[in-house]
Amino acid sequence: MKILRGRVFDFLDEPQTPGDGSYRYIEDGAILLDQGRIVAVGDFAALDNGAEVIDHRPHLLMPGFIDTHNHFPQMQVIGSYGAQLLDWLNTYTFPAEMKFVDPEHAARIATAYFDEMLRNGTTTPVAYCSVHKTSAEAYFTAAAARNIRAIGGKVLMDRNAPEGLLDTPETGYDDSKALIEKWHGTGRALYAVTPRFAITSTPAQLEVAGALMAENPDCYMQTHLSENTDEIAYTLELYPDFRDYLGIYDHYGLLGPRALMGHSIHLSEREVALMRETRSVAVFCPTSNLFIGSGLFDERRMQENGVRMALATDIGGGTSYSMLRTLDEAYKVCQLQNRNLPPLRAFYMLTLGNARALGLEAEIGTLAAGSEADIVVLDARATPAMALRMETVETLPEELFVLQTLGDDRSVVQTYVAGRAML
């Protein structure tokens, strides 16, 4: 056993109003760990039992961050200049992803990817691999080496991409099935059936994706939805018998509580209602939406209509691995729509909120006894500018907002995965 000592902070429920009891904060707190799980949380004086103490005072101890949508093969295209979605894919993304046929390249990037995630306090990523089975093997192998709770899947893509990035409905099914059998539920790995989006999948391949989900209902399904207006128009040209974009995925049995719909920006009223009815998850990717010029995600509309939401970096269209930087951009996106994103709600989204979106709130996103000991240690005085600002901060929400607006990887003092220090 060991004890982490510091200011302990996590959520019990989604914040609604100030002082609503939605979170727990212990000034001199302790987290008792054993065999990769949290045994107890409370005042240090009450839990000090002679076990090894790792003293992180005066820093915050909170659940590790969860990133619900990103692309690990795109690490080398972050910051690529001057294109919107479809041109960006063709000019930058597809050439980079073609390299993942090489197992050595895939392994190298997967190692760098998890190193970067942990450096930024993210303990559960949800990633798109490339079309190559080798890329998914590299992703899950690198995650297993660190005992990380990782979700991912091989991309399904059988048209509108270079020859070196195409599979077929048959090979896509066979490779995905083999990966599910090998990795889903092995250690801390979980699989996501991953049709990239309707533009790069024929109807036959979307049928295959639906079959995989029907056969493996405890897997996730991740894809892209209504990110860009040109994308939407092209999708409906390819699927002229459907009234809207989301209807395509619905027809092929891809919606439901484990469906992660990346972006979900330009939705009709019918699509919003269908998202709510199927309990599918709209994934908010603010840095990517701004960088690629896709549009502003309407967080208020989703919340008011009861649509489940998650937050994500969308590396490499996104511009930072840091979920703190992602929060900063999310705040600005909301501001542009006359909507506030309070710091308590923001940090709920990074932790328990994203865990609930994945249906994993009993395991991650929390410091509850029995949960997996994925923990991040944060320093709101990590830079001179932050330290100067913190001289005037008096409350926990104010401190969180400093982290939300000024924080990045420098604020991450330590990241624990299943109770093991990773930095």
Mean pLDDT (whole number) for 118-141:
98
Mean pLDDT (whole number) for 136-161:
98
- The per-residue pLDDT for 87 is 83
For 68-107, write each residue's pLDDT tens digit.
999 999 999 998 887 787 787 888 889 999 999 999 999 9
Contacts 24+ apart (CB under 8 A), 86-94: 86/228, 86/230, 86/231, 86/234, 88/292, 88/317, 93/316, 94/161, 94/162, 94/165
In the structure encoding, which two tokens stand for residue 101, read together? 């046929």
Residue 419 φ/ψ region, left for φ over 0, alpha for ψ in the -120 to 50 degree band, beta for the rest: left
For 240-264, write each residue's pLDDT tens digit.
999 999 999 999 999 999 999 999 9
Report percent pLDDT > 90 for the chain. Answer: 94
Maximal CA-CA distance, the chain: 68
Cα four-point dihedral sign 336, 342, 343, 348: negative
- The per-residue pLDDT for 396 is 96
**Coil, strand or helix at 368:** coil
- The per-residue pLDDT for 60 is 98
Helices (H), 120-238: 133-146, 169-183, 203-215, 229-238
- The per-residue pLDDT for 89 is 83
162 CB burial (10 A radius; 0-12, 13-18, 19+): exposed
- The per-residue pLDDT for 90 is 83
DSSP string, 230-241: HHHHHHHHHSTT
- The per-residue pLDDT for 86 is 76
How high does pLDDT run on average in the chain?
96
Q: What is the DSSP letter of 64?
A: P
DSSP string, 242-305: -SSHHHHHHHTT--STTEEEEE--S--HHHHHHHHHHT-EEEE-HHHHHHTT-----HHHHHHT
The yes-or-no verdict on residue 369 having pLDDT over 90 is yes
